[in-house]
Amino acid sequence: MNIAVIGTGYVGLVAAACLADAGNNCIGVDIDEEKIRKLTAGVVPFYEPGLDDLLLRNVREERLVFTTDIARAVKESQVVFIAVGTPENEDGSADLKHVLAVAEKIAGHANGEKVVVLKSTVPVGTNRRVRDLIRAKTAHPVRVVNNPEFLKEGTAVDDFQKPDRVVIGCEDEHGAAIMSEIYAPFVRTGNPVLIMDPMSAEMTKYAANVMLASRISMVNELSQLCEKVGADVEMVRRGIGTDARIGSSFLFAGIGFGGSCFPKDISALRKTGEEHGVPMRMTQAIEAVNARQKEVLFEKISAHYGGKLVGLKFAVWGLAFKPRTDDMREAPSIVIINRLLEAGAAVAAFDPAATETARDIFGPRIRLCERAYEPLSGADALIIMTEWNEFRQPSFDRVKAALNRPVIFDGRNLYNAQHISELGFTYYSVGRRAALPVA
């Protein structure tokens, strides 16, 4: 099938590469000429495991090409995916200007029957809005389908190629048939293709992210109470996670969630509720809990040093909002590092993928290191903010020898507190008692 994907950001590029890898002829479209040149050369502009090989293979096989010419892409394609950004407006609503601008161009360049697929995350009712806009500007039969993405950064290629489910929001059987054909190679093991109305599909995307975020915020709020009453949130997590009605996913206490999806989608759903007279109180609570959780680790650090951080140096492991990505949008590390800098401390940091992203955010205000143990030298404490695998079993002898004082602030609960204390560290984590060094 001939497919165009307009927008070569995270969602669009993964979709284009995976659809091409299934044998389709795909055209990726973007307005950024430099980006198109890099993609044509097989260079992925962000970090996502496995995507570089997938991209390069399909570019070489000429199943995947890139262009800035949207007219060509629309005319040569039977199906056109819209995968442009929907950033958050100041009031929390989703900004649809890019989606609507692309829809107008599709209508202007349509040369026959088309299926337009809204892959961008859009508020309820956008599918109908785009449909009406296109139909008003072209006489050609154009069907508009909503197909929300459920990709996780760090595992996006696998998520697309082996989806838990595929959600298709459409108004007629023809659109459903085309979309089912596109996704047939990815659901051969029987995972469901769920056909529903467009508004339900749009709502499903927001509902899924808000439900997942609510689990994170619930365990994070519990972690604060656990510390006050002397409970261990890790034990509590295991205790509730083994309940089949609850499960263990997204129940890890930490320093809050970030990224491009959860914060934006929670705000958008809250705003949609306001517009329809339905106050989304749970979403409001999730936002408040998450904002509060990003302050918790800094407060532990400040309390340990009696509020006197001027002149202290801190080593940081992890800057991205989660492992296996270089994405730092809404990352807790930004909040905590800024608080440290404001308090007069110095910061040296290492992240396996997010160094350049961090350089754009912090500039020369922090020292960015190329190796994991480099920032520890002469630091007064180690702060862990992202749970990369290489931080899970470090050489604690080497960590201890490099630090001025054997102190660890663990925002992701990576270590066994008793074991760390027996190694001579003062150890702070989330939702657990501080562990003092064993004499």
List residues with catalytic annotation. Answer: 261
DSSP label at residue 435 = B
Residue 372: exposure state from Cβ atoms within 10 A (0-12, 13-18, ≥19) = buried
Residue 292: exposure state from Cβ atoms within 10 A (0-12, 13-18, ≥19) = middle
Sign of CA dihedral 54, 58, 63, 64: positive
Q: Strand, helix or coil at 222?
A: helix
Contacts of 101 (CB under 8 A, 6+ apart): none
Contact call for residues 120 and 174 (beta carbons, < 8 A): no
Residue 158: exposure state from Cβ atoms within 10 A (0-12, 13-18, ≥19) = middle
The 10 Å Cβ neighbour count of residue 75 is: 14
Cα gap 221→183, rounded to integer Å: 39
The 10 Å Cβ neighbour count of residue 173 is: 10
User: Which residues does residue 435 pair with via DSSP β-bridges, in sequence order?
Assistant: 427
Contact call for residues 74 and 106 (beta carbons, < 8 A): yes
Candidates 159, 152, 160; CA nearest to 327 is 152
Q: Strand, helix or coil at 438?
A: coil
User: Phi/psi of residue 44, each to 5°?
Assistant: -85, 130
